[in-house]
Amino acid sequence: MKVYISADIEGVTGVTSWDEAESDKPEYIRFAEQMTREVKAACQGAIRAGASEIWIKDAHNTARNIDPREMPKNSKLVRGWSGHPFAMVQELDETFDAALFIGYHSCAGSNDNPLAHTMSGKVRYIKINDKYVSEFLLNAYAAASVGVPVVFVSGDKGLCSEVKRVNNNIITLGVKDGIGGSTINMNPDLAVELIEKEVEKALTRDLKLGEIRLPEHFKVEICFAKHTDAFKASFYPGMKEMSSNSVLYESDNYFDVLTMISFVV
């Protein structure tokens, strides 16, 4: 079994402030260590379920957060950003049996995580077909576009609720609750223990339970915090200016959607 893991940090237990998520801040180190521990736990759960090959995308900020020394021998760690439109799921393709998302977080505009955002701090929100979308959904759709089911997601409880609305069969683990600018967090050791257990469970069930159906058409609305960013984005081919802060892009091809996002967001 070949398994893909995409990992972020804002949904890792304990992480509450941007100072804990940015590599130039002193608080960052211990939370990067917890991110590494949670990813390692997912790998161990996958191995217990029979995974012979694991690919891991470090998908936060510099994409150089996970300690490679802690990853198993049968894994490959993708660090840095290539510029490919798949971004947080770079190298994911039809050869994988399942995908897992670790440390993911709620979307821009939500109140479920003090660090809630979607792709960058430039946007107030991104909607697809009039629904707010998170990085989970953007990347789950990418997985669906190459026929890979998403079987497990860990992160804040608000995101877990979104995941269940998309596909109630996906196993989720909420390791934190966001309340305004605060978080209520699971014990770090317990989070590691449960991630390993739940990943093993997710990978020993029928993997098809994690399949997500792609819409036939994508109407993508992006609202920027700054009107200057919206004005610049309005010149992307096929983009329409909706207001001083928002633009609209439509396509039947999801890869085109991801390409657009990679250029304007």
Annotated binding site: 8, 10, 60, 105, 135
Phi, psi of 33 (to 5 degrees): -65, -40
Distance CA(227)–CA(83), nearest Å, equals 25
Alpha helices by DSSP H, the chain: 28-48, 135-145, 157-166, 188-204, 227-233, 254-264
Task: List the beta bridge partners of residue 99.
Answer: 4, 150
d(CA 229, CA 258): 18
Catalytic residue numbers read: 117
Measured distance CA(46)–CA(29) in Å, rounded:
26
Residue type, 161: S
Q: Can you list the alpha helix ranges (DSSP code H) found in 124-226?
A: 135-145, 157-166, 188-204
Q: Are 103 and 12 in contact (CB under 8 A)?
A: yes
Q: Which residue ranges make up the annotated binding site for Zn(2+)?
A: 8, 10, 60, 105, 135
Q: What are phi and psi of 5, to 5 degrees?
A: -125, 125
Q: Please name which of 161, 107, 157 lies closest in space to residue 131, comparing C-alpha atoms.
A: 107
